[in-house]
Amino acid sequence: MDRIRIVGGNELNGVIPISGAKNAALPLMIASLLTSDTLTLENVPHLADVELLLRILGNHGVDVSVNGRRERQDEGYSRTIHFTCRTIVDTTAPYELVSKMRASFWVIGPLLAREGRARVSLPGGCAIGTRPVDLFIEGLTALGATMEIDGGYINATAPKGGLIGGTYTFPKVSVGATHVMLMAASLARGTTVINNAAREPEVVDLANCLNAMGAKISGAGTSTITIEGVHSLSGARHRVLPDRIETGTYAMAVAMTGGDVTLEGTDFALLDTALEAVRRAGAEITVTPSGLRVVGHGNDIRPVDVVTEPYPGFPTDLQAQFMGLMTRANGVSHVTETIFENRFMHVQELARLGARITLSGQTARIEGVSRLRGAPVMATDLRASVSLVIAGLAAEGETTVSRVYHLDRGFERLEEKLTRCGAVVERITD
C-alpha cells in the first residue's frame, strides 16, 4: 500500500495548476447516460474516482474515448473525454462497484429517466457520516417513480410513459440529490420545481451542461430550480469548472508554510467565503489574469473561527484542511462542523504531530502551537488525508501519511504539484 513521505520546513514558491473539479466531473460524466449522442467533457481530472466511474458507466453501455491534453500542461493532467451511450445495456448498478464510491449511486436518475427502470445498490464512499438516500427516494417519488428497497438495492420504476414533472422541497440541502433531480427531471413530462436546492457551483455546472444538451433549466445557483422536461437530449461539449476544494487546499498550504504561489486556472468567486477566511488568517490573496496569487507568512498565522455550511458558506470539504492551518495559529480558534456528524476523525492524527485540539460536540477548539513535529499518521478519508499533508509540510522533520488511496480519489498528482513548488514530498510504494 502506498504512503506519502514529507520532509517539512520548506516554503512553497511557484505555480500550481488547478485541475478540473472532481465534484463537477462525476455528475457530468453520469449525464452522458441521458443521451444517445456524444457528450464531450474537457478538463476531466485523473483521479481514482473518475476511473471507477468510467468502469461503472461502461457497465451501462457508455463507450469512452480519451484524447488530447490540457493546453500548455504536461502529459497526465486533466483530459478531454468523449462519452457515447447509444444504448443502455444494463440498468443495474452492482454493489461491488457502487459500494466503493457514493456518487456512482447517482446513475439512478438518468437510468430511470431514459429507460424507465433502475436497480442500484445502496452507496458507499468515505466514512464521514450516515448520508442517507431518503432525499433521493423522496425526490424521485415526487416525479412519479415507484421506489422499493430490496436486498441492499433500490428498485426504481417510472410510470408508463416516463417520469412526470412535480414539485419537491428538500427538507435539508443535498448536493447529490439536487444533481439527481436535475438529470431525472430533464426528461420528465411537464415542469419540475425543486425548492431548497443546493446552490453549489458544481450544480450550476451540471445545469449549464444539461442546457447545452437541450434541457430547459432555470434558477441553478439559487434555492429554487425550475426544469421544463424535454423529449430527448443531444450531445454537447462542456468544460469542467476548476476544483474549488483543490484551490482552497493549496491556498491553505501556502498560508501555513509561507511562500508565494500562483494557483493557475481557478476563480476566486468559486470559494470566496473560504478564501476570505484564509485572508483573515494572514495570507495575501490576489486575483491575477491566470488565477490567484497566494502569499503566506508561515509563523504569522492568526486564529479564525469558521462554521461549515452549505454553499455559499464555508465548505465542509475544506474543514479538515483549515483545521490543519489553525494548528499553527497564534491563539485559539474554533471549527464547527454542521454538515456531517462524523468528520473529525483527522483530529487524533493531527494530535500525533503535536496539535492541541479538543472536541465538544460538533465544535473543535484548536490551540495553536509554535511548531509541529513529523510523525507517522494515517488518512481516514479524502479531505482528512490532505489536511495531514498540509500539516506535514509545516512540521519539523519527517511525516509519513499512510492509506493515501484516499488522496488519489480527489487530488490529481498532488505530490508532483507540491514538489515543483519546493516541497519535499515523495510517494513510497511498498
For 302-338, write each residue's pLDDT tens digit.
999 999 999 999 999 999 999 999 999 999 999 999 9
Which residue intervals of 258-357 are DSSP H helices?
A: 272-280, 319-326, 347-352
- Largest Cα span, the chain: 66
**Cβ–Cβ contacts within 10 Å for residue 386, how many?**
30
Residues 6 or more apart from 386 whose CB is under 8 A from it?
A: 249, 320, 321, 407, 410, 411, 414
Which pLDDT does position 71 carry in this prediction?
43
Place of cell 477566511: 277
Q: Residues 85, 126, 209, 421: which is the catalytic one? A: 126
23 assigned ligand-binding residue? yes
Per-residue model confidence as pLDDT tens digits over 174-205: 999 999 999 999 999 999 999 999 999 999 99
Delimiting residues of CATH 3.65.10.10 domain(s) in the chain: 3-18+243-428, 22-239
173 assigned ligand-binding residue? yes
**pLDDT, mean over the chain:** 93
What is the crossing angle of helices 22-30 and 175-186, to 10°?
A: 30
134 assigned ligand-binding residue? yes
Q: Nearest Cα to 303, choosing from 325, 276, 270, 286?
A: 325
Beta strand spans in 299-351 (E): 306-307, 332-336
Instruction: Give residue 324's region: left, alpha or beta (phi > 0; psi -120 to 50).
Output: alpha
Q: Which fold has domain 3-18+243-428?
A: UDP-n-acetylglucosamine1-carboxyvinyl-transferase; Chain (3.65.10)
Q: Is the pLDDT at 73 greater than 90, yes or no? A: no
First to last CA, the chain: 6
Q: What is the pTM of this model?
A: 0.95
Q: Which fold has domain 22-239?
A: UDP-n-acetylglucosamine1-carboxyvinyl-transferase; Chain (3.65.10)
102 assigned ligand-binding residue? yes
Catalytic residue status for 421: no
Alpha carbons 288 and 273: distance in angstroms, whole number: 18
Q: Is the pLDDT at 142 greater than 90, yes or no? A: yes
Per-residue model confidence as pLDDT tens digits over 106-138: 999 999 999 999 999 987 543 334 446 899 999
373 assigned ligand-binding residue? no
